[in-house]
Amino acid sequence: MRRFSQRSHLVTVAEINITPLLDLAFVLLIIFVITTPLLEQSISLKLPKGVGRPDQHIDPHNVRTVEISNTGVYALDRHRMNLEEILGRLASDFQSNPEMIVYIRADKDSRYDLVAQLIGGCQAHGITRYSLRTDPTR
């Protein structure tokens, strides 16, 4: 009789209560949902107004986006870097992909020389395909 009672005790120990695991999973999900948009933010920009024409079909793998804030902060594909690092990365990317296009998103209040330094650095590395981005809304 004693053996039977020990087996029933082992059966109850083998059961796992998954309620705390589900609570933990939901808490982690909420944390990731809240923090992911904060991590993906780049520089806050106000692009100049422009009309321009719609973009042609361009492979997104060929595009590198450089952002320039009005305070002189540069970012390449949403990662803050200084100008020399950006030009080095663009040059190495251009060597591996000659179809690369550089999108330049400069704040409307940024200094012109910041944009000119970037364009000059691109041209020095042989990168001649770039596009100055504007805000098409009126």
DSSP string computed for 100-129:
-EEEEEE-TTS-HHHHHHHHHHHHHTT---
pTM listed for this prediction: 0.63
Same-domain status, 32 and 78 = no
Q: Which residues form the domain of 115?
A: 60-132
Residue 53 lies in a domain: no
Mean pLDDT score across all residues of the chain:
81
Same-domain status, 76 and 127 = yes
pLDDT digits (tens, 9 = 90+) for 87-97: 999 999 999 99
Tally of domains in the chain: 2
| pLDDT classification of 134: cutoffs 50, 70, 90 | confident
Residue 68 lies in a domain: yes
Q: What is the pLDDT of residue 12?
A: 57
pLDDT at residue 137 greater than cutoff 90: no
Length of the chain: 138
Same-domain status, 102 and 72 = yes
Distance from CA of residue 57 to its chain's centroid?
A: 21
Same-domain status, 88 and 33 = no
Tell me if residue 137 falls in helix, strand or coil.
coil
pLDDT digits (tens, 9 = 90+) for 41-92: 566 666 667 666 666 677 888 899 999 988 888 999 888 889 999 999 999 9
Alpha-carbon gap, residue 32 to 37, rounded angstroms? 9
Residue 34 lies in a domain: yes
Residue 68 host element (H or E): strand 63-68
Same-domain status, 123 and 65 = yes
Positive or negative torsion for Cα 113, 70, 123, 51: negative
Residue 66 lies in a domain: yes
First to last CA, the chain: 86
pLDDT at residue 35 greater than cutoff 80: no
Structure tokens at 100: 């690369």
